[in-house]
Structure 1
Amino acid sequence: MDDVKTRTRRQVLEVAAELLEREGAQALSTRTVAAAAGIRAASLYQLFGDKDGLLSALAIHAFDLYLAEKHTLAPSGDPVDDMRRGWDMHVDFGLKHPAFYLLMYGTDRPGRRPPAARAARELLMTFLDRAAADGRLRVPPALAAHLTLAAVTGVTLSLIGAPESDRDPEVSTRMREALIDTLTTDAGPAPDATLATRALALDATLSGADPATVPLRPVETALLRDWLRQLAH
């Protein structure tokens, strides 16, 4: 029975996703989706609760597609270049799938985080932690992630809202480079690297290290990382 329910749920999501991309969110009434999926409206409510539940499930489905594309980006030897490629892929996804993107990153009321916010941040942190470990970040990874997501979603939503004939790719490129110039250094820690840069690099290295290889007790490691984060500011 669970397998049948899972298959039905997947079928409904695929039908709803097709409707969403073809006609937009306004076309996603529960009756329309149920009819297109060949099930009763009551069955749709059992699967998703209500329209908000269906939209939340669609946002997760959309983000799965986004992650599948992101994971095709093999890390290069340059974490800052990886940040550029990640930015471009993010913007391209939004322009190819505008209805999905609005569902993923939009919010219907103040104070409500977009459905994809946490997962997007965790994915971005993997790039930024590598950049910090290489001594390429000027600010802590958490702050860099917040600034990057704010910038890239703002650019993407702005481009989605413009007629295709008015979309200038230079907008994305200039914003990307302005942000990277603000967040990163040109190379890894040099002999005269700032204290903040060295502190960020060591903190990122400790974050990704196997605890068994760190010759400190957990409480000492936590204290050291707290000091490093203070030095990084």
Structure 2
Amino acid sequence: MRLEAITWERLTDSLADRLLELSPADGAPWPRVAFDGAPAARPGDLAARVGEALRVRGRPALVVGTQGFLRPASLRFEYGHEDVEAYYSGWFDTAALWREVFGPLEAGGTGRVLPDLWDPVSDRATRSPYVHLAPGSLLLLHGPLLFGHWFPFDLTVHVRLSPGALRRRTPPEEQWTLPAFERYEAEHDPAAAADVLVRADDPRHPAWSG
């Protein structure tokens, strides 16, 4: 795969322009976009940039992070605070994402989306109000390990770090999660599966293909 050097500004504009033309394959009026990547790759930063670029272009978008859909600590840490299997398959409440985010945005859905459900700091429900998305609004969902859940994305962006860069940029207290991303690479090959690949080993000089 050939990657082209680009600035974050040009990448943001290119993605925003592409999303303006995005039409869901299932006929839903709300395009759904994934920004996938390990926390150290900061996919949420790119999602926020693109959301703002869409707003400037007159197209509303809701940016949602999977960090707001963590399961309660009693479930995440049932097998210890550094259990790789739990992190890989049990930390994020995918059922709630289906129920509160993707379900309402299906064809014939209400467009009534819950932007977050659980506060990992207080370990309590956020009690955030629902957001009503007008037809044509986009969902920009960001987080790690997004592929493999059959989420109905209309376009996928994967922000990739090489194994060495991922290791260097992951904080010491989170290094235990690295085997989960090795497994993710082996099982889902997100770089090949994504519609758009962003290489972010040097945070100042990204490259992309898509």
Structure number with higher relative contact order (C-alpha < 8 Å, ≥ 6 residues apart):
2
TM-score interval, normalised by the smaller of the two chains: under 0.3
The structure with the largest alpha-carbon Rg is 1
Instruction: Please give the TM-score of this superposition, normalised by the length of structure 2.
Output: 0.27
- For normalisation by structure 1, the TM-score amounts to 0.25
Task: Tell me which protein shows more strand as a share of its residues.
Answer: 2
